Amino acid sequence: METLLKFVDQYLFDDHLYWRLPQLYSGKEYEVQWVKGESPPWRYRAVDGLFWKKVAASEILQALAEDKLDLETFEKELRAAILQQAVFADMVLKKATEMMGAEVIRDAIKDNGEFMDSLVSMINGLCKDIAAEAPGISVPSPAATALPRLRLIGRGAQD
């Protein structure tokens, strides 16, 4: 389930997700929210509660389990949110291909990949340069601080 949480944090288009989850053995319901860009992005509370418990992505599963929320239902909801995004992305890709042509779309995807590869290479080089010039400074490896791949929005004035 941690892979699903990472996927939500890195790739979802939505800015906000919301679920209601049952608490095991009590019948009580909890609200669970994820808000992109907030720190921490996860929060939850009893439906009749006033205050949110805010937790980091790395802590949400443990927090929900400690309050005995139904993690099986939560996993199903996470999967459904991701699948909904995949269906939407597929629709966007198909419509963009119809509008601009398959070759333009393939080229944009290829160009984006090449751009990302060169960006990662440049960052790796800068990190090595910083580490070499300042041996007392700890520079994390780019892999340790990897962010989701950037999206190249346009390829010039092609309409």
91-128, pLDDT tens digit by residue? 999 999 999 999 998 998 898 888 888 888 888 888 77
Structural domain spans, the chain = 2-93, 101-159
> Which residues, 6 or more positions from 157, have their beta carbon under 8 angstroms from its beta carbon?
none
Whole-angstrom distance, CA of residue 67 vs CA of residue 74: 13
**pLDDT tens track of the chain, all 159 residues?**
899 999 998 888 899 999 999 999 998 999 999 999 899 999 999 999 999 999 999 999 999 999 999 999 999 999 999 999 999 999 999 999 999 999 998 998 898 888 888 888 888 888 777 777 776 666 565 555 555 554 444 444 443
> Which residues, 6 or more positions from 29, have their beta carbon under 8 angstroms from its beta carbon?
20, 21, 22, 23, 46, 47
Whole-angstrom distance, CA of residue 49 vs CA of residue 62: 20
Entry pTM: 0.70
